[in-house]
Chain A
Amino acid sequence: EAQVTQNPRYLITVTGKKLTVTCSQNMNHEYMSWYRQDPGLGLRQIYYSMNVEVTDKGDVPEGYKVSRKEKRNFPLILESPSPNQTSLYFCASSFTGFSNQPQHFGDGTRLSIL
Protein backbone atom coordinates (compact mmCIF):
# COMPACT_ATOMS: atom_id res chain seq x y z
CA GLU A 1 0.00 0.00 0.00
CA ALA A 2 1.30 3.43 -1.00
CA GLN A 3 1.80 5.49 2.09
CA VAL A 4 3.70 8.11 4.04
CA THR A 5 4.55 6.90 7.53
CA GLN A 6 5.38 9.21 10.42
CA ASN A 7 6.62 8.30 13.86
CA PRO A 8 5.82 8.92 16.59
CA ARG A 9 2.15 9.83 16.27
CA TYR A 10 2.13 11.57 19.64
CA LEU A 11 4.91 12.92 21.81
CA ILE A 12 4.97 14.95 25.00
CA THR A 13 8.40 16.23 25.94
CA VAL A 14 10.16 19.09 27.70
CA THR A 15 11.85 22.23 26.53
CA GLY A 16 15.38 21.70 25.26
CA LYS A 17 15.30 17.93 24.85
CA LYS A 18 16.30 17.07 21.30
CA LEU A 19 13.79 15.05 19.33
CA THR A 20 13.41 13.57 15.86
CA VAL A 21 10.22 12.86 13.97
CA THR A 22 10.75 10.29 11.25
CA CYS A 23 9.03 10.24 7.88
CA SER A 24 9.23 7.49 5.29
CA GLN A 25 7.47 7.04 1.95
CA ASN A 26 7.29 3.91 -0.21
CA MET A 27 6.28 5.52 -3.51
CA ASN A 28 9.75 6.40 -4.80
CA HIS A 29 8.82 10.08 -4.67
CA GLU A 30 11.53 12.63 -5.30
CA TYR A 31 9.85 15.47 -3.42
CA MET A 32 9.21 15.51 0.33
CA SER A 33 8.09 18.25 2.66
CA TRP A 34 7.19 19.05 6.26
CA TYR A 35 4.27 21.20 7.38
CA ARG A 36 2.94 22.29 10.72
CA GLN A 37 -0.76 22.80 11.35
CA ASP A 38 -1.98 25.34 13.87
CA PRO A 39 -5.57 26.38 14.60
CA GLY A 40 -6.77 29.20 12.37
CA LEU A 41 -3.57 29.16 10.30
CA GLY A 42 -3.98 26.10 8.11
CA LEU A 43 -0.75 24.31 7.23
CA ARG A 44 2.56 26.09 6.78
CA GLN A 45 5.63 24.63 5.15
CA ILE A 46 8.70 24.15 7.32
CA TYR A 47 11.24 22.55 4.96
CA TYR A 48 11.20 20.72 1.70
CA SER A 49 13.48 18.48 -0.34
CA MET A 50 13.52 18.21 -4.11
CA ASN A 51 15.67 15.06 -4.03
CA VAL A 52 18.39 13.27 -2.08
CA GLU A 53 20.84 15.71 -0.48
CA VAL A 54 18.78 18.71 -1.67
CA THR A 55 16.83 20.55 1.03
CA ASP A 56 15.57 24.10 1.41
CA LYS A 57 13.66 26.30 3.83
CA GLY A 58 9.94 26.79 3.69
CA ASP A 59 8.00 29.57 5.36
CA VAL A 60 8.63 28.69 9.03
CA PRO A 61 12.04 26.94 9.28
CA GLU A 62 13.29 28.52 12.53
CA GLY A 63 14.08 25.93 15.19
CA TYR A 64 14.00 22.95 12.82
CA LYS A 65 16.50 20.91 10.84
CA VAL A 66 16.04 18.25 8.21
CA SER A 67 18.18 15.82 6.26
CA ARG A 68 17.64 13.75 3.12
CA LYS A 69 20.28 11.04 2.94
CA GLU A 70 17.98 8.50 1.34
CA LYS A 71 15.16 9.01 -1.10
CA ARG A 72 12.52 7.41 1.11
CA ASN A 73 13.32 9.15 4.42
CA PHE A 74 13.02 12.78 5.49
CA PRO A 75 13.37 13.22 9.27
CA LEU A 76 12.47 16.44 11.05
CA ILE A 77 14.83 17.37 13.88
CA LEU A 78 14.12 19.75 16.75
CA GLU A 79 17.51 20.37 18.33
CA SER A 80 16.20 22.40 21.28
CA PRO A 81 12.39 22.30 21.28
CA SER A 82 10.44 25.19 22.75
CA PRO A 83 6.75 25.49 23.70
CA ASN A 84 5.96 27.51 20.55
CA GLN A 85 6.77 24.37 18.55
CA THR A 86 3.81 22.58 20.09
CA SER A 87 1.79 21.72 17.01
CA LEU A 88 0.53 19.03 14.66
CA TYR A 89 3.15 18.08 12.08
CA PHE A 90 2.63 16.50 8.68
CA CYS A 91 5.08 14.98 6.27
CA ALA A 92 4.13 14.93 2.59
CA SER A 93 5.59 13.60 -0.64
CA SER A 94 4.98 13.76 -4.38
CA PHE A 95 6.67 12.50 -7.52
CA THR A 96 8.19 15.90 -8.24
CA GLY A 97 7.98 19.45 -6.93
CA PHE A 98 6.02 20.72 -9.91
CA SER A 99 2.96 22.74 -9.00
CA ASN A 100 0.40 20.40 -10.57
CA GLN A 101 1.49 17.40 -8.49
CA PRO A 102 -0.81 16.45 -5.62
CA GLN A 103 0.95 15.60 -2.40
CA HIS A 104 0.45 12.52 -0.24
CA PHE A 105 0.32 13.18 3.49
CA GLY A 106 1.17 11.12 6.52
CA ASP A 107 -1.27 10.80 9.42
CA GLY A 108 0.46 13.46 11.46
CA THR A 109 2.54 13.76 14.63
CA ARG A 110 1.16 15.71 17.55
CA LEU A 111 3.98 17.29 19.55
CA SER A 112 3.53 18.90 22.94
CA ILE A 113 6.55 20.77 24.31
CA LEU A 114 6.21 21.60 28.00
Chain B
Amino acid sequence: GDSVTQMEGPVTLSEEAFLTINCTYTATGYPSLFWYVQYPGEGLQLLLKATKADDKGSNKGFEATYRKETTSFHLEKGSVQVSDSAVYFCALSIASNTGKLIFGQGTTLQVKP
Protein backbone atom coordinates (compact mmCIF):
# COMPACT_ATOMS: atom_id res chain seq x y z
CA GLY B 1 0.00 0.00 0.00
CA ASP B 2 0.89 3.67 -0.07
CA SER B 3 3.35 4.74 2.60
CA VAL B 4 5.86 7.39 3.68
CA THR B 5 9.14 6.74 5.48
CA GLN B 6 11.08 9.48 7.22
CA MET B 7 14.47 9.42 8.83
CA GLU B 8 14.26 8.77 12.52
CA GLY B 9 14.92 11.54 14.96
CA PRO B 10 15.56 13.37 17.00
CA VAL B 11 17.88 15.49 14.94
CA THR B 12 19.97 17.93 16.94
CA LEU B 13 21.82 20.73 15.17
CA SER B 14 23.62 23.91 16.08
CA GLU B 15 22.24 27.21 14.84
CA GLU B 16 23.24 27.99 11.22
CA ALA B 17 23.91 24.33 10.43
CA PHE B 18 22.63 22.70 7.24
CA LEU B 19 19.50 20.56 7.60
CA THR B 20 18.42 17.52 5.65
CA ILE B 21 15.47 15.35 6.65
CA ASN B 22 15.05 12.36 4.39
CA CYS B 23 11.66 11.26 3.12
CA THR B 24 10.88 8.45 0.73
CA TYR B 25 7.50 7.23 -0.39
CA THR B 26 5.69 4.31 -1.97
CA ALA B 27 2.60 5.13 -3.97
CA THR B 28 0.57 3.97 -6.90
CA GLY B 29 0.03 6.62 -9.49
CA TYR B 30 1.25 10.18 -9.05
CA PRO B 31 0.83 11.55 -5.56
CA SER B 32 1.14 15.10 -4.34
CA LEU B 33 3.81 15.53 -1.67
CA PHE B 34 3.82 17.79 1.36
CA TRP B 35 5.92 18.81 4.31
CA TYR B 36 4.04 19.89 7.43
CA VAL B 37 5.56 21.37 10.58
CA GLN B 38 4.21 21.04 14.10
CA TYR B 39 5.40 23.47 16.75
CA PRO B 40 4.92 22.48 20.41
CA GLY B 41 1.28 22.55 21.46
CA GLU B 42 0.04 23.48 18.02
CA GLY B 43 -1.54 21.82 15.03
CA LEU B 44 0.21 21.00 11.80
CA GLN B 45 0.99 23.81 9.38
CA LEU B 46 1.75 23.37 5.72
CA LEU B 47 5.41 24.14 5.10
CA LEU B 48 5.64 23.37 1.39
CA LYS B 49 4.23 21.13 -1.30
CA ALA B 50 4.95 19.72 -4.75
CA THR B 51 2.33 18.22 -7.00
CA LYS B 52 4.33 16.68 -9.85
CA ALA B 53 7.72 15.22 -10.60
CA ASP B 54 10.68 17.67 -10.55
CA ASP B 55 8.60 20.37 -8.83
CA LYS B 56 10.45 22.17 -6.07
CA GLY B 57 8.47 23.42 -3.12
CA SER B 58 9.96 26.20 -1.02
CA ASN B 59 8.98 28.33 1.96
CA LYS B 60 10.78 30.14 4.80
CA GLY B 61 14.17 28.96 3.52
CA PHE B 62 13.11 25.32 3.37
CA GLU B 63 13.14 23.42 0.08
CA ALA B 64 12.19 19.98 -1.17
CA THR B 65 12.22 18.54 -4.69
CA TYR B 66 9.82 15.85 -5.90
CA ARG B 67 12.10 13.10 -7.26
CA LYS B 68 10.05 10.46 -9.00
CA GLU B 69 13.06 8.37 -10.01
CA THR B 70 14.15 7.93 -6.40
CA THR B 71 10.63 8.31 -4.88
CA SER B 72 11.99 10.92 -2.51
CA PHE B 73 11.06 14.36 -1.16
CA HIS B 74 13.92 15.33 1.15
CA LEU B 75 13.58 18.53 3.17
CA GLU B 76 16.57 20.90 3.26
CA LYS B 77 17.47 24.23 4.78
CA GLY B 78 20.79 25.94 4.43
CA SER B 79 20.96 27.59 7.85
CA VAL B 80 18.64 26.56 10.65
CA GLN B 81 17.55 28.79 13.52
CA VAL B 82 16.45 27.98 17.04
CA SER B 83 12.91 28.90 15.99
CA ASP B 84 12.93 25.99 13.50
CA SER B 85 12.81 23.52 16.39
CA ALA B 86 9.66 21.48 15.77
CA VAL B 87 8.39 18.15 14.47
CA TYR B 88 8.41 17.78 10.69
CA PHE B 89 6.06 15.45 8.84
CA CYS B 90 6.37 14.29 5.27
CA ALA B 91 3.04 13.33 3.71
CA LEU B 92 1.54 12.26 0.43
CA SER B 93 -1.91 12.48 -1.02
CA ILE B 94 -2.88 9.89 -3.53
CA ALA B 95 -4.42 10.91 -6.82
CA SER B 96 -8.01 10.31 -5.90
CA ASN B 97 -10.63 12.49 -4.33
CA THR B 98 -10.67 10.95 -0.87
CA GLY B 99 -8.35 13.72 0.29
CA LYS B 100 -6.51 11.39 2.63
CA LEU B 101 -3.02 12.40 3.67
CA ILE B 102 -0.62 9.56 4.43
CA PHE B 103 2.00 10.70 6.91
CA GLY B 104 5.45 9.60 7.87
CA GLN B 105 6.14 9.12 11.54
CA GLY B 106 7.56 12.61 12.00
CA THR B 107 11.10 13.84 12.71
CA THR B 108 11.86 15.99 15.71
CA LEU B 109 14.36 18.76 15.08
CA GLN B 110 16.08 20.54 17.93
CA VAL B 111 18.30 23.50 17.14
CA LYS B 112 20.68 24.69 19.84
CA PRO B 113 22.05 28.24 20.05
**Distance in angstroms between the alpha carbons of A48 and B34 in the assembled complex:** 19
Chain B residues with CB under 8 Å of chain A are: 4, 31-32, 34, 36, 41-46, 49, 51, 89, 91, 93-101, 103-106
Q: Is A99 a contact partner of B95 (Cβ separation < 8 A)?
A: yes
Give 15 new A-B contacts, CB below 8 A, not counting A33-B100, A35-B101, A94-B99. Answer: A4-B43, A31-B99, A40-B105, A43-B91, A48-B98, A48-B99, A50-B97, A50-B99, A58-B100, A59-B100, A92-B101, A97-B97, A103-B101, A105-B36, A106-B43
Q: Is B42 a contact partner of A96 (Cβ separation < 8 A)?
A: no
Interface residues on A, range: 20 to 34
Q: Is A99 a contact partner of B96 (Cβ separation < 8 A)?
A: yes
The answer to whether A48 and B100 touch (CB under 8 A), given A42-B106, A99-B31, A99-B95, is yes
The yes or no answer to A45 lying at the interface (CB within 8 A) is: yes
